């Protein structure tokens, strides 16, 4: 067995220390890099889940407001139909009133083209015309208000759909980002571990050379 000089002892110590230090340094770097990448992957995954939830909510709201627009249309149709029934009733009552009055005047040999008979029939016609005008105005208001309400609901539904599509695209983006960081964690682990083992091997090689001289 040979003897080791102080230089050999120093090489042995330096090699051992260098190998261990290189390994620990790379291991620490690996842990830090993995922690960062993993944190980013989890954050991206959470963001994807939140965006997906927002998309679902927006889609539900779009469907709800679209349904409200349909309900508003049905309600408007019912009101307009009621308005038309009132118009028909006004016309029917007017005709009945005028026919009854005309028959009454005829039975009494009253000339309906002059005097109070004419005034009575004219008054009935004037009231009828006024009632029809009011009926037509109410119908126009109903239809206008219905149009405004339905347009408002449809616009809201459109905006919700736009938001849903945006949130879906962002969810996909964050999913890709999460996958990227996940693969980064794996890649860093393999690269840094290889590097650490290489440094450890290099250090111990130096120590082995020094030990070979001694043995």
The CATH number given to whatever domain includes residue 52 is: 1.10.287
The 10s digit of each residue's pLDDT in 19-40 is 556 555 655 656 666 677 677 7
CA atoms within 13 A on the CB side of 149: 16
Position 194 confidence tier, pLDDT thresholds 50, 70, 90 = low
Task: Judge whether 209 lies within some domain.
Answer: no
Task: Judge whether 135 lies within some domain.
Answer: yes
Q: How many distinct structural domains can be found in the chain?
A: 1
The 10s digit of each residue's pLDDT in 137-176 is 999 999 999 999 999 999 999 999 999 999 989 888 888 8
The 10s digit of each residue's pLDDT in 45-96 is 888 888 889 999 999 999 999 999 999 999 999 999 999 999 999 999 999 9
Task: Judge whether 202 lies within some domain.
Answer: no
Q: Which residues of 11-46 are buried (b: 16+ CB within 10 A; e: fewer)?
A: bbeebbebbeebbeebbeebeebbeebeebbeebbe
The pLDDT assigned to 149 comes to 94
Task: Judge whether 87 lies within some domain.
Answer: yes
Task: Judge whether 10 lies within some domain.
Answer: yes
Position 179 confidence tier, pLDDT thresholds 50, 70, 90 = confident
Task: Judge whether 85 lies within some domain.
Answer: yes
Task: Judge whether 104 lies within some domain.
Answer: yes
Q: pTM value? A: 0.61
Segments forming the whole domain that contains residue 92: 6-197
Task: Judge whether 129 lies within some domain.
Answer: yes
């Amino acid at each position: 067995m040979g003897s080791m000089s102080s230089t050999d002892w120093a090489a042995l110590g330096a090699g051992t220390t260098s190998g261990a230090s290189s390994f620990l340094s790379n291991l620490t770097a690996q842990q830090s890099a993995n922690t960062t990448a993993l944190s980013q992957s989890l954050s991206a995954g959470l963001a994807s889940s939140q965006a997906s939830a927002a998309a679902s909510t927006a889609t539900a709201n779009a469907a709800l407001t679209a349904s409200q627009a349909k309900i508003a249309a049905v309600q408007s149709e019912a009101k307009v139909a009621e308005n038309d029934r009132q118009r028909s009733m006004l016309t029917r009552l007017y005709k009945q009133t005028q026919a009854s009055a005309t028959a009454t005047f005829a039975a009494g040999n009253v000339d309906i083209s002059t005097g109070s008979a004419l005034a009575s029939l004219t008054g009935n016609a004037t009231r009828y015309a006024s009632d029809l005008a009011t009926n037509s105005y109410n119908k126009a208001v109903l239809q206008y208000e219905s149009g405004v309400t339905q347009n408002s609901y449809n616009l809201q539904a459109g905006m919700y759909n736009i938001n849903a599509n945006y949130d879906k695209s962002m969810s996909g983006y964050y999913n890709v980002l999460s996958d990227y960081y996940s693969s980064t964690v794996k890649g860093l682990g393999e690269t840094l571990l290889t590097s650490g083992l290489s440094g450890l091997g290099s250090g111990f090689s130096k120590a082995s050379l020094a030990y070979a001289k001694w043995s």
